[in-house]
Amino acid sequence: MAAKGATVFWEPMTYYNSQSWHKADGYSNGNMFNCTWRANNATFTNDGKLRLALTSPSHNKFDCAEYRTNFNTGYGLYEVSMKPAKGVGTVSSFFTYTGPTDGTPWDEIDIEFLGKDTTKVQFNYYTNGVGGNEKIIDLGFDASQSYHTYAFDWQPDSITWYVDGVAKHKATRNIPKTPGKIMMNLWNGTGVDDWLGPYNGANPLYAYYDWVKYTSN
């Protein structure tokens, strides 16, 4: 239940709502990202889902997808119904982010699925660029096979992550404080085989998102 006076943003992923969302296009995050964001790789299915694609237009070149809000949000409850891609060397995500390109500290809160084992989910966060807070949770199911609800409750003194409404992990140290954008992406890595496993070029791969909800404090 939303707190009295809370703002609720709920988006069914049925079409491209350009008033609220933006598709990354034509650039790469560099370093570990072995692909270029393409707006055409963020599309909507006939049954009303956002589909992020990882594709290869030519040998050893890869295109990926990122979708993010046009506005910033802060403390509150973040929820998503999604189905990540399965594929070694890839990441499907739901997170909040702000950083130097926005003129702010690098603050980030993550829900990440490593495609090498989609029976697990990784939670993480960065505060002013300081990370090292990874926590891997066994789900008891294969997340790539069906939609489930994943969430985190971001408060000034804690972050609590949930799977299908059940609390799975809580952090209380050095919590981020800078509002950021709600983001989702699918990408393939390079030079991070110890984390993601080696990407073998398999494509196309898809991550699907049914809806997103944010409830402020």
The catalytic residues are 108, 112
The CA distance from 70 to 177, in Å, is 19
113: number of CA atoms within 13 Å, CB side?
A: 28
The CA distance from 73 to 69, in Å, is 9
Pairing of strands 8-12, 61-69: unpaired
- For residue 196, the surrounding DSSP H or E stretch is helix 193-196
Phi (first) and psi of residue 41, to 5 degrees: -90, 0
- Please tell me whether residue 145 adopts helix, strand or coil conformation: helix
The CA distance from 77 to 217, in Å, is 8
Residue 2 is given by DSSP the state P
